């Protein structure tokens, strides 16, 4: 089976989108124009944003239907609205594919995004671990039957639980207990980092911290850590302190689905609850989902009305299509190529003398430390964008430039791998990026001080790099059959 992104029947896809854009144009032509322009821009740029990808035409088209018009609060077969039989069908198929794809006991496909999945999972775990036993102790079945005083006590108990997650500057996500995020406010939070010397997770330090802090929830998973995680070890630590292990695989779900991460590196057999997005390396529609053991399934199923409103039925349908694609053999080849390409990109940097956090990668992320070029992450990100290379700045461990300017650039391979890039193309990408950074100088502020934001990119470099990128991009077209 060939790749569903590049092989969709070109004449069908072309005429479908041409006609759809005509229909949109008849109401608001500027939106049709912007939609065309977005395709042109995505086609013309080296997209190295680690969280982005290109979904297949089948996935994209599934989102544009009348399932968007239906309300379906509740669960499969138990809805608060009438006439949900087709939503039931769609949600059942999506959940079945998710269970089969990941070997999970239970799947919940309603969360609208990764953050919604995490919030839902947090409250599900609180309901399972705190509210359930609490109500049992109080001898009532339903919290509506609690006295006002008891309800106050339960609420205080729910809000006083401890959460231990990976810190943002070590590569964790905002929702893993970062103070300004709601996860850092609803929980009594603490964070673990990476070894400042190696940039690697230090499981012994994590175990010691967990033993001291005794979290109810231990969160594993990351958005900007270029290495694999041993989830068997994470579970051991969680068990030692009586914590629920929640793994947020938002970034690397595609590598789990494609069996690049197996055994101790596969979160599903080890975690109590796994949360994810569907649109990053998994290459589905923009959305979230949750996998859980049977034990947690009833609590997760309460996502609506606990945290969520009406599910996005059109997106659940598109998740089903994406999960079906990920169950095809070709997806395993795609996932392995993502990891192989990240190695090629990392080697391309190392062979040209650049520094990488942790010295390399064994997932889909490469974290380039740009301090050796005399730049901040912000300057590097902007200069690269001028040259048509789309990345995002990112903190490095113990970042001297803080979380806004940063000292790193995060690069990911899922999107360009979808376009067909392989070893040689990623080596060339590394060469082009190094060329841009070597030709960028930090600027100065109005007062003549060194600036962390302004920069000067040498004349002609942006155009030269754009031409070189265009050659790579033309050889590996995005949606090759789509004539727009």
Ligand X SMILES: *Cc1c(COP(=O)(O)O)cnc(C)c1O
Please tell me which residue in 194, 277, 376, 418 is annotated as part of the active site: 277
Q: Which residue is nearest to ligand X (CB)?
A: 114
Residues 6+ apart with CB under 8 A from 204: none
Q: How far is CA 388 from CA 75, 258, 418, 435, 465, in A?
A: 45, 30, 18, 13, 8
222 is catalytic: no
- The correct pick among 90, 206, 250, 339 for binding ligand X (CB under 6 A) is 250
- The correct pick among 113, 230, 454, 476 for binding ligand X (CB under 6 A) is 113
* ∠ Cα 170 256 321 (to 5°): 120
Residue whose CB is less far from ligand X, 165 or 388: 165
71 is catalytic: yes
Region of 110-118, 120-128, 190-198, 265-273 interacting with ligand X (CB under 6 A): 110-118
Region of 30-38, 202-210, 247-255, 326-334 interacting with ligand X (CB under 6 A): 247-255
Longest dimension (CA), the chain: 75
Residue whose CB is less far from ligand X, 175 or 392: 175
Report the nearest approach of ligand X to the CB of residue 165 (Å). 10
Burial 30-51 (b: 16+ CB within 10 A, else e): eebeebeeeeeebbebbbbbbb
Cβ atoms within 10 Å of 433's Cβ, excluding its own: 29
Q: For helices 29-44 and 461-475, what crossing angle results, to 10°?
A: 90
CA nearest neighbour of 97 among 281, 312, 280, 326? 326
User: Is residue 169 involved in binding ligand X (CB under 6 A)?
Assistant: no
- The correct pick among 47, 70, 209, 251 for binding ligand X (CB under 6 A) is 251
User: Is residue 223 involved in binding ligand X (CB under 6 A)?
Assistant: yes
Please tell me which residue in 36, 71, 302, 352 is annotated as part of the active site: 71
Report the nearest approach of ligand X to the CB of residue 172 (Å). 7
Burial 321-337 (b: 16+ CB within 10 A, else e): bbbbbbeeeebeebbeb
User: Is residue 308 involved in binding ligand X (CB under 6 A)?
Assistant: no
Report the nearest approach of ligand X to the CB of residue 372 (Å). 27
The two three-digit tokens of residue 3, written as one number: 């790749």
280 is catalytic: yes
- The correct pick among 91, 248, 381, 425 for binding ligand X (CB under 6 A) is 248
Cβ atoms within 10 Å of 71's Cβ, excluding its own: 16
Let me know: does 251 contact 281? Beta carbons within 8 Å: yes
Binding site residues, as ranges?
A: 168, 172-174, 294
- What residue ranges bind ligand X (CB under 6 A)? 51, 113-115, 118, 173, 175, 221, 223, 248, 250-251, 277, 288
Binding site residues for (6S)-5,6,7,8-tetrahydrofolate, as ranges?
A: 168, 172-174, 294
Q: Which are the catalytic amino acids?
A: 71, 73, 248, 277, 280, 286
């Amino acid at each position: 089976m060939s790749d569903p992104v590049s092989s969709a029947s070109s004449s069908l896809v072309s005429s479908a989108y041409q006609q759809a854009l005509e229909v949109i144009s008849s109401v608001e032509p500027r939106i049709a124009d912007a939609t065309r322009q977005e395709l042109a821009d995505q086609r013309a740029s080296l997209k190295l944003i680690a969280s982005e990808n290109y979904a297949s035409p089948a996935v994209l088209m599934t989102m544009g239907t009348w399932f968007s018009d239906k309300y379906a609060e509740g669960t499969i077969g138990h809805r608060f609205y009438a006439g949900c039989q087709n939503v039931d069908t769609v949600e059942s198929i999506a959940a079945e594919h998710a269970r089969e794809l990941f070997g999970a006991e239970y799947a919940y496909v309603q969360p609208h995004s990764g953050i919604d999945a995490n919030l839902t999972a947090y409250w599900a775990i609180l309901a399972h671990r705190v509210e359930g036993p609490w109500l049992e102790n109080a001898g009532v079945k339903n919290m509506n039957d609690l006295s006002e005083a008891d309800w106050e006590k339960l609420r205080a108990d729910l809000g006083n639980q401890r959460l231990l997650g990976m810190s943002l500057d070590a590569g964790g996500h905002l929702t893993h207990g970062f103070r300004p995020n709601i996860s850092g406010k609803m929980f009594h939070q603490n964070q673990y980092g990476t070894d400042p010397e190696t940039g690697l997770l230090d499981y012994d330090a994590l175990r010691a911290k967990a033993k001291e802090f005794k979290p109810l929830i231990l969160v594993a998973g990351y958005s900007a850590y270029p290495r694999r995680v041993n989830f068997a070890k994470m579970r051991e630590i969680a068990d030692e302190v009586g914590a629920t292990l929640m793994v947020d695989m938002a970034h690397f779900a595609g590598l789990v689905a494609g069996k690049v991460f197996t055994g101790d590196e596969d979160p599903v057999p080890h975690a109590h609850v796994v949360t994810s997005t569907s649109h990053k390396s998994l290459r589905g529609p923009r959305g979230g989902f949750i996998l859980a053991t049977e034990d947690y399934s009833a609590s997760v199923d309460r996502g609506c009305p606990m945290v969520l409103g009406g599910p996005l039925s059109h997106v659940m349908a598109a998740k089903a299509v994406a999960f079906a694609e990920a169950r095809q053999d070709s997806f395993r080849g795609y996932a392995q190529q993502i990891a192989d390409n990240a190695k090629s990109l990392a080697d391309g940097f190392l062979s040209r003398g650049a520094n990488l956090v942790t010295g390399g990668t064994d997932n889909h992320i490469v974290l380039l430390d740009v301090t050796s070029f005399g730049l901040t992450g912000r300057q590097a990100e902007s200069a690269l964008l001028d040259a048509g290379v789309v990345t995002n700045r990112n903190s490095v461990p113990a970042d001297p430039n803080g979380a806004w300017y940063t000292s790193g650039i995060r690069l990911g391979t899922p999107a360009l791998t979808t376009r067909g890039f392989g070893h040689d193309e990623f080596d060339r990408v590394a060469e082009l990026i190094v060329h841009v950074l070597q030709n960028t100088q930090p600027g100065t502020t109005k007062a003549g001080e060194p600036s962390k934001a302004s920069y000067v990119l040498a004349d002609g470099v942006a155009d030269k790099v754009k031409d070189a990128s265009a050659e790579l991009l033309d050889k590996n077209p995005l949606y090759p059959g789509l004539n727009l």
